[in-house]
Amino acid sequence: MLFPTPLRARVYARHMASVDVAVIGAGVVGCAVARHLVAAGYSVVLLEAMSQPLCGASRGNSAMVHCGFDCTPGTLESVFVTRGHKLFRDFASACATRKVVLPWRPSGAIMLAMRPSDLTAITDSILPKARLNGVGSCRLLATRDAVVALEPNVSGNVVGGLHVPEEWSVDPFVLPMLWLAQACRLGATDSEDEKGRDMSVAFPQRKFQLRFQANVVGAERIDDSAGSGWRLTIRSRSSASDIDVDDAGERLFRSLSASSADRGAATVIAGSPSVRGDSSLQSTVRARLVINCAGLHGDKVDALLGAQGEQRGPAVVSGNVVDLATFRVVPRLGRFIAFDTAHSSLIRSHALLPLPTPKTKGIIVFKTVHGAVVSGPTAEDPDDVRPPQREIRSLLQQVAVEKVPKLASASIAWEYAGSRPATRTSSDYVLSQGLVVAAGCHAAAATARADATGWMTVAGVRSTGLTAAAALAESVAKAAGVFFAATPRMAVADLASNPVAGLPVDFDVLGAMPSDIRGRSAHPISAHAAVAKL
């Protein structure tokens, strides 16, 4: 039984009309942010323009948890990646204790030196950078023999390298889906806390809702008798009836939040009426605080503010204050190929890294947590001339064979691609100043407050987003605490002491998801792993 009482069934409705926080974008960052905010006691709606979560930049990454050894010291990226790595370690440990299914492996990585000058660059530049970033586990491999002892099948041209044991592999779909499941379960008003108390009594206004096909097309600053905040206009295109347009989001919510017959979905209040026109459904959501986690579309969402955003405060990029109105997302395409599983043993576990360039970390040859050997990504900006797929396939094969010659006999089993939200402003993250202050990582902004207008932006989060997401979400929750200081909320769960709060023993998020939603949204690495098990 989905709803345990007639009352809950009677008050159930499709939309939440007014919430504490609206999070725009259900990628890895948006899912992490929703998790932290719901745990902190806020009512949250997570708005996703597509018909499933994790389908933008989050659907085409390299499935690695980075330790930050090669980040530029002092950047926002270095701070959030370092913190995110620790949060992942704590989360993975808690999952193991609670027997929550999270496929990951402490695989490690090796930055290969293909010539003596590479080894000099590692010694003089990369290794000191790692130490400045607090990654003390990196070890210089001064000879080829030292590399071969870890990965026997590397090229004969390798002269040494850098061992990075804290670069890890993870299922890039399961991790953020577990965060989303926590938001759903902690946000269900008929749930119990860890001591078995009925939280619908203690937190009658605490709610969480997922809305798919919810394209935010307008943002209006409001200040009336109900308080100040934002009215977001949401347009959904659907051939279904009004009541079914958010069905995928509700079904996913129900499946993730329900653990037994007496534990069902959240009670949500009715929203503003939907209006049909040109096969579009339009509605509004009122939120006191808005978090823009729209990834590849982050600049377009911020552009909705227009003149309303002039007084909302600056952003910080690498310690420099910038105008958020000027930042532009540049989708950087990355293409990958995966080899047949018959050759998976050619790599023991380590990701094989090149020396980075000013633009990119370069093409990596790595083994996924499910055993596939992958080569990628490329780094193709919109202004670049993009070669046809056959040329990219040949390039990625060539790079893989240069590192592991025996891969020359391997066939390509599947391919995938994804775009990272790079920006023209900087190679660093672009964050509202309030978030930077909350993280305590920018001395010049030490006296600044969270953005007074109630709009925060998390942008420019590229290939390290899977790692940094939890740390970014942690800072969002801290900044929200400053913003709501006059009307504080009571936390539902303490994620610091219990990172898996809300998840039951033996929880398998893929098994809990509706099969059609899982099939549409799964990351290619996860999807091919599932097919291989059939």
The dihedral formed by the CA atoms of 110, 114, 117 and 118, expressed in degrees to the nearest 10: -20
Cα 231 from chain centre: 25
Q: Say how far apart CA 81 and CA 93 lie, in whole Å.
A: 18
Fold for 102-168+330-423, please state it.
D-Amino Acid Oxidase; Chain A, domain 2 (3.30.9)
Mean pLDDT confidence for 101-113: 97
Indicate the CATH number for domain 6-62+173-328+426-529: 3.50.50.60
How far separated are the first and last CA of the chain, in Å rounded?
30
Q: Describe the crossing of helices 247-257 and 174-186 by its angle, rounded to 10 degrees.
A: 80
Res 260 pLDDT > 50: no
- Cα distance between residue 33 and residue 19, in whole Å: 15
When the pLDDT of each residue in the chain is averaged and rounded to a whole number, the result is 82
Residue 163 φ/ψ, nearest 5 degrees? -85, 125
DSSP code of residue 295: G
Cα 407 from chain centre: 31
Where do you find CATH 3.30.9.10 in the chain? 102-168+330-423
Q: Using one digit for the tens of pLDDT, what is the confidence trace for 206-245?
A: 479 899 999 999 999 998 888 889 999 999 865 443 334 4
pLDDT 10s digits, 1-44: 222 233 232 233 345 678 999 999 999 999 999 999 999 999 99
Q: What is the pTM of this model?
A: 0.88
Domain with CATH 3.50.50.60 in the chain: 6-62+173-328+426-529
Question: What is the C-alpha separation between 212 and 220, in angstroms, rounded?
Answer: 21
Chain length of the chain: 534
**Structure confidence at residue 63 (pLDDT):** 94
Which strand (E) or helix (H) includes residue 292? strand 280-292
What per-residue confidence (pLDDT) applies to 428? 86
* pLDDT tens digits, one per residue of 156-188: 999 999 999 999 999 999 999 999 999 999 998
Instruction: Tell me what pLDDT residue 152 has.
Output: 98
Cβ atoms of residues 147 and 110 within 8 Å: yes
